[in-house]
């Protein structure tokens, strides 16, 4: 299976609710990043959390990292219709040339 | 806009055609990447360039040939492709490939259809 796996694969909530997405990975990492992709477009970087950090905030986004469980979560608070997109976690492995290994993503739909 | 542009945005080609995808970054970055995104599959890293030198080639078939003439431009030359190569091809750049880790800036992608 993949290095990064998101859960759930799809999430549908009402506008104003909070959305939580989870990511699990298998090997030791340098950092973990979350990206967002609108349908058929490029990915946009949201937030990066390093392996020695446990929590990070950016606006309505909150990311946690638990290296002992090899997992991360992305929380979007007070969701808006414009948050509808696919969200991917990407792990940067500890090796010479940094590669990002992406999961399959969570498809988030915010219903107005 | 992320500072990374890709052309063309859409491409339809036959299996015997030769075409090229172009990527340009205006961010002063030293590293550039090609990814392939197929339906229902994770984003697949194809090639990594650092300071115009290829540092990663992820077992990509030879019908895909990358070229990085300078740190701002990256090409993907395509020839004798197969229908299963139809996908969204994404280019990305980052400050460099090492260190604590760098966010990557993605272009909008080229939607490729091979007939």
Q: Looking at the predicted structure, is the pLDDT value of residue B29 above 60?
A: yes
Predicted pLDDT of residue B99: 56
Q: pLDDT (tens digit, 9 = 90+) per residue, A83-102?
A: 999 999 999 876 655 678 89
Provide mean pLDDT across the span A67-82.
96
Tokens of A68: 């002992």
Rounded to the nearest integer, the mean pLDDT of chain B is 90
B11 interfaces chain A, CB cutoff of 8 Å:
no
Q: pLDDT (tens digit, 9 = 90+) per residue, A15-64?
A: 999 999 999 999 888 899 999 999 888 899 999 999 999 999 999 999 99
Q: What is the 3 state secondary structure string of chain B?
A: CCCEEEECCEEEECCCCEEEEEEEECCCCCEEEEEEECCCCCCEEEEEEECCEEEEECCCCCCEEEEEEECCEEEEEEECCCHHHCEEEEEEEECCCCCCCCCCEECCCEEEEEC
Task: Please state, in angstroms and rounded to a whole number, the distance separating the CA atoms of residues A25 and A35.
Answer: 16
Provide mean pLDDT across the span B20-39.
94
Q: Looking at the predicted structure, is the pLDDT value of residue A11 above 60?
A: yes
Predicted pLDDT of residue A1: 40
Q: CB of A77 within 8 A of CB of A18? A: yes
B97 interfaces chain A, CB cutoff of 8 Å:
yes
Provide mean pLDDT across the span A65-92.
96
Residues B40-59 as b or e (16 or more Cβ within 10 Å = b): eebbbbbbbbbeeeebbeee
| Cβ pair A99:B88 closer than 8 A | no
B45 interfaces chain A, CB cutoff of 8 Å:
yes
Neighbouring C-alpha atoms within 13 Å toward the C-beta of A15:
7
Q: pLDDT (tens digit, 9 = 90+) per residue, B53-89?
A: 787 777 899 999 999 999 999 999 999 999 999 999 9
Of A31, A41, A88, the CB nearest to B101: A31
């Amino acid at each position: 299976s993949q290095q990064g796996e998101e859960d759930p694969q799809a999430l549908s909530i009402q506008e104003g609710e909070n959305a939580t997405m989870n990511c699990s990975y298998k090997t030791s990492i340098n950092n973990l990043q979350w990206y967002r992709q609108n349908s058929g477009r490029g990915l946009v970087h949201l937030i990066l959390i390093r392996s020695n950090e446990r929590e990070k905030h950016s606006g309505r986004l909150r990311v946690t990292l638990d290296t002992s469980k090899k997992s991360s979560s992305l929380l979007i608070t007070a969701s808006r219709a414009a948050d509808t997109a696919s969200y991917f976690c990407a792990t940067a492995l500890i090796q010479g040339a940094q590669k990002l290994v992406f999961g399959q993503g969570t498809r988030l739909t915010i219903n107005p | 806009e992320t500072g990374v542009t890709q052309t063309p945005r859409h491409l339809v080609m036959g299996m015997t055609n030769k075409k090229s995808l172009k990527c340009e970054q205006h961010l002063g970055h030293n590293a550039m990447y090609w990814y392939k995104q197929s339906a229902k599959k994770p984003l697949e890293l194809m090639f990594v360039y650092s300071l115009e030198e290829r540092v990663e080639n992820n077992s990509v078939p030879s019908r895909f040939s990358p070229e990085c003439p300078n740190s701002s431009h990256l090409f993907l030359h395509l020839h004798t492709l197969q229908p299963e190569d139809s996908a969204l091809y994404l280019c990305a750049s980052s400050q460099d490939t090492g260190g604590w880790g760098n966010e990557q800036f993605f272009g909008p992608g080229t939607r490729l259809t091979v007939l």
